[in-house]
């Protein structure tokens, strides 16, 4: 499973406007659910918020992977957003979070869900790649950086 199979070019947000954790979750959920009849925005916000209440999905180095499961989905879907100034997302390393990868999976997709999380975690650990994402001037350049990095694995 490749990340670019989950995140399409139009699912890249180069400038998130929210500045707090609940607002970031709401903004990303809205983006992912917009135009997608299989994803109810309020339900997605609740799933992501409930997951964050268990433990932060901020894995450090400026990256968070808010995720959850919803019924009635046919496949895993994801989006990526960037907050250049960083957001306090209760990261394990205590640093601000800049890159957010939101992933939602069908309820019955435990194996695929875990494989996707593992791949995202692996790809987004590379500091040079993260720097390229942060410096990319627009969504197209962010997607190209993602596609290039994803092809290495």
Beta bridge partners of 99: 63, 82
Exactly one of 21, 67, 82, 98 is catalytic; name it: 67
Question: Is the dihedral angle over the CA atoms 87, 131, 14, 85 positive or is it negative?
Answer: positive
For 10-140, strand residue ranges (E) read: 12-13, 58-60, 63-64, 67-70, 77-87, 97-106
Q: Give the 3-state secondary structure of residue 120.
A: helix
The C-alpha atoms of residue 103 and residue 79 are separated, in whole angstroms, by 7
The C-alpha atoms of residue 93 and residue 18 are separated, in whole angstroms, by 21
Is there a catalytic annotation at residue 98?
no
The catalytic site residues sit at 67
């Amino acid at each position: 499973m490749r990340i670019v199979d989950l995140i399409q070019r139009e699912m890249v947000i180069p400038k998130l406007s929210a500045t707090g954790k609940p607002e970031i979750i709401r903004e990303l959920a809205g983006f992912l659910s917009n135009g997608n009849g299989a994803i109810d925005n309020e339900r997605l916000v609740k799933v992501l918020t409930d997951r964050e209440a268990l433990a932060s999905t901020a894995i450090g180095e400026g990256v968070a992977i808010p995720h959850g499961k919803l019924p009635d989905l046919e496949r895993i879907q994801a989006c990526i957003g960037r907050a250049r100034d960083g957001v306090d997302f209760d990261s394990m390393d205590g640093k601000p979070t800049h890159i957010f990868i939101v992933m939602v999976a069908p309820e019955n997709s435990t194996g695929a869900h875990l494989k996707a999380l593992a791949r995202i975690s692996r790809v987004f650990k590379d500091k040079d790649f993260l720097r390229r994402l942060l410096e990319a001037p627009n969504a197209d350049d962010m997607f190209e950086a993602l596609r290039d990095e994803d092809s290495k694995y």
